Chain A
């Protein structure tokens, strides 16, 4: 091959150009990285500096609805609060645990669901969160004692502060109850099944015998299962060990759910799925287990045309289903400012505002004494039912249960097991065996 000198020169020039381009691009990349790195470390120095705090949560926390973020900015003009919401808690948690594992990508404040809290307080994860018991203005005795304990690690570190709790009631359709010849007044309905969940299942049989065509007593036996387990102090854990095969509450909850399904009083829907949501608007079932946060769902899915048809009665036994916490990951840029925000958001006045707006029952006991909580009446659900009283009575009657890192997973495994009977037509024994198999396969 022969090459002329002219061609050779342009080639070498081109090579030189290429080398310079590559070098300068690398340099740019390098400086770009280092400058962004240095700016993050020097951000917390000035307390009046304008900052944005991000709050990661799921479902309906009600802060935006109650105008609390704007109120906080009014109190602290240098702070803007931005909320990142995910609808499904499972999706939210998957993202959070990936971010925790990576040590980056977390928001300044991260909400935690009660099923995840013992994982967050475990040795594996508690190091990732700031200790909120030492944050200014936080008083341990303000919070429901068991709620505080749930978020405190064995080493005494409080990784999160409680937002709401999930005291259970039963929400019911008074028009369908009347049509099936059952009482429809909250007090009489509460008396119908007071003291024992099996009476609730019996009431279901009575309802089903005279039920309007195409209606069922309950939406799903999985709701009943969770309600029965949640009313017991012994759930999935005993003495720090996973114990579900011999748990009395799991056994009785499973049997009751099977009895309800066998009697045909359950519609067998998959809770929180679109079909479940549309069933609210089509009025195909008469009761649903109603932790305080469920009120917002009922109003959202049943829609304006069903306003005033729902009412709320006391559950057979007090129990807690759900409820959340706010934590501050210690890797954040503005840990101190985020702690102040969490302390403020979980203070009694703010929790009371959230309750009145979306129905989340406060975990801060002082909130119960405030006007507009205990005497609260929900304009959508049973306009004259003593909603605030029912939920705050249930909240104070909750006896704390031992929980553990897999509690949330077990709850969904058993819900799935009941769906195997309700939707896939399996026999009760086979469904139990499949559930145990599923759980055993994930224990190492």
Chain B
């Protein structure tokens, strides 16, 4: 490469006798400095440009991660983080088989059921909405913007409104059921009803976001595929099933993974939905997710060691999801 030759040649210290023509006398120190700068520039500046990200990541990402891992082997109170006692794997055994195990497995199960309850309908509605918006229709950009409005709403505001809707005494949901002569439901107290209510909040917030991703992917599907399908006599539903969905497979996988990760970390909706008992996911822990459980252990009961162990368990869970995703993606690529 030209750069390495010129760099070596212009270095006064290692100026080799076989290349005297590259360092003409008189201009050598200045040119050497300049080319050294140039060498630093080409080699160094990419690192300088990416450094801010990695510095920030090291401080706010990597360090907390490692520190949390270290804390998870200690009994440590929130009040005296400096004074910690090494307890080995006790925090983990407490979680899996010890005094906290009932609540841990309960939270893990709730995270899975809430995840399925919110992710599956969310993605199905999103893909349907995207399909509709993909057609020519009036005020299309209005609908596209409107789709994103729930996503822009804060979790707190949305959850408080939905908590009122699902209020047992005077809520809109029970009023609606009453129109059909049904008895009022204690939404928050029931195990499935509360999870349903929370998944409605999650679905409401994220459907539009996913619909826009699907819409973008749909617009990359060649139009002649649809024309060919139409010529073959396929109606819109058949077109959707046989053209749109196969073309969208990688996108669907992507949104499924992102939504799964989001569902694993679900915190704000159940926490705020429960009001006074939100910190433990309802009076009977009926919608306590792993995120809420971690908060409750760490910040209400000041057991930072156990909270760290939960954090690492969640991290391992996410790695597992990532792995499964990679395997499925590879399968998909091979099958195409």
User: Are the C-beta atoms of B275 and A409 separated by less than 8 Å?
Assistant: no
Question: Which of A9, A22, A434 is close to B284, meaning CB atoms less than 8 Å apart?
Answer: A434
B293 to chain A, nearest CB (A): 11
User: Are the C-beta atoms of B189 and A416 separated by less than 8 Å?
Assistant: no
Residues of B within 8 A of A18 (CB): 45, 48
- Stretch of A31-39, A94-102, A168-176, A200-208 that contacts chain B: A94-102
User: Are the C-beta atoms of A94 and B169 separated by less than 8 Å?
Assistant: no
Give Cα A226 to B51, complex, Å.
57
Query: How would residues 293 to 317 of chain B score, 1 for a CB under 8 Å from any chain A CB and 0 otherwise?
Result: 0000101111100000000000000
Question: Whose C-beta in chain B lies nearest to the C-beta of A13?
Answer: B37
Q: Does B167 contact A (CB under 8 A)?
A: yes
User: Are the C-beta atoms of A101 and B284 separated by less than 8 Å?
Assistant: no
Query: How would residues 328 to 362 of chain A score, 1 for a CB under 8 Å from any chain B CB and 0 otherwise?
Result: 00000000000000000000000000000000000
User: Are the C-beta atoms of B167 and A274 separated by less than 8 Å?
Assistant: yes
User: Are the C-beta atoms of B164 and A274 separated by less than 8 Å?
Assistant: yes
Q: Does A154 contact B (CB under 8 A)?
A: no
Residues of B within 8 A of A84 (CB): none
User: Are A1 and B38 CB-contacts (below 8 A) given A273-B276, A424-B284, A441-B102?
Assistant: no
User: Are the C-beta atoms of A419 and B283 separated by less than 8 Å?
Assistant: yes
User: Are A1 and B163 CB-contacts (below 8 A) given A11-B41, A101-B79, A124-B77?
Assistant: no
User: Are the C-beta atoms of B41 and A14 separated by less than 8 Å?
Assistant: yes
Residues of B within 8 A of A438 (CB): 103, 280
Residues of B within 8 A of A3 (CB): 2-3
Give Cα A2 to B163, complex, Å.
67
User: Are the C-beta atoms of A437 and B102 separated by less than 8 Å?
Assistant: yes
User: Are the C-beta atoms of B275 and A274 separated by less than 8 Å?
Assistant: yes
Give Cα A77 to B80, complex, Å.
38
Query: How would residues 99 to 117 of chain B score, 1 for a CB under 8 Å from any chain A CB and 0 otherwise?
Result: 1101100000000000000
Q: Does B134 contact A (CB under 8 A)?
A: no
Interface centre among B37, B42, B303, by most chain A C-beta atoms within 10 angstroms, is: B37
B29 to chain A, nearest CB (A): 14
User: Are the C-beta atoms of A426 and B284 separated by less than 8 Å?
Assistant: yes
B18 to chain A, nearest CB (A): 21
Question: Which of B44, B167, B283 is close to A424, meaning CB atoms less than 8 Å apart?
Answer: B283
Q: Does B279 contact A (CB under 8 A)?
A: yes
Residues of B within 8 A of A416 (CB): 277, 280, 283
Residues of A within 8 A of B170 (CB): 278
Question: Whose C-beta in chain A lies nearest to the C-beta of B167?
Answer: A275
Query: How would residues 309 to 332 of chain B score, 1 for a CB under 8 Å from any chain A CB and 0 otherwise?
Result: 000000000000000000000000
Query: How would residues 268 to 289 of chain A score, 1 for a CB under 8 Å from any chain B CB and 0 otherwise?
Result: 0011111100110010000000
User: Are the C-beta atoms of A419 and B167 separated by less than 8 Å?
Assistant: no
Give Cα A137 to B213, complex, Å.
67
User: Are the C-beta atoms of A279 and B35 separated by less than 8 Å?
Assistant: no
Question: Whose C-beta in chain A lies nearest to the C-beta of B186?
Answer: A423
User: Are the C-beta atoms of B79 and A1 separated by less than 8 Å?
Assistant: no
User: Are A12 and B2 CB-contacts (below 8 A) given A98-B78, A270-B276, A275-B168?
Assistant: no
Q: Does A420 contact B (CB under 8 A)?
A: yes
Give Cα A272 to B278, complex, Å.
13
Q: Does A47 contact B (CB under 8 A)?
A: no
User: Are the C-beta atoms of B284 and A97 separated by less than 8 Å?
Assistant: no
Residues of A within 8 A of B168 (CB): 275
A428 to chain B, nearest CB (A): 14
Question: Whose C-beta in chain B lies nearest to the C-beta of A284?
Answer: B169
Q: Does B265 contact A (CB under 8 A)?
A: no
Query: How would residues 160 to 181 of chain B score, 1 for a CB under 8 Å from any chain A CB and 0 otherwise?
Result: 0001100111100000000000
B155 to chain A, nearest CB (A): 15
Residues of A within 8 A of B276 (CB): 90, 270-273
User: Are A441 and B40 CB-contacts (below 8 A) given A98-B78, A270-B276, A416-B277?
Assistant: no
Give Cα A271 to B189, complex, Å.
15
Question: Whose C-beta in chain B lies nearest to the C-beta of A125?
Answer: B79
Q: Which residues of A contact B (CB under 8 A)?
A: 1-3, 8-9, 11-12, 14-16, 18, 22, 90, 94, 97-98, 100-101, 119, 124-125, 270-275, 278-279, 282, 409, 416, 419-420, 423-426, 434, 437-438, 440-444
Ordered by A's residue number, 10 sampled pairs between the chains whose C-beta atoms are within 8 Å are: A1-B2, A8-B35, A11-B42, A272-B276, A274-B163, A274-B167, A420-B284, A424-B286, A444-B75, A444-B303
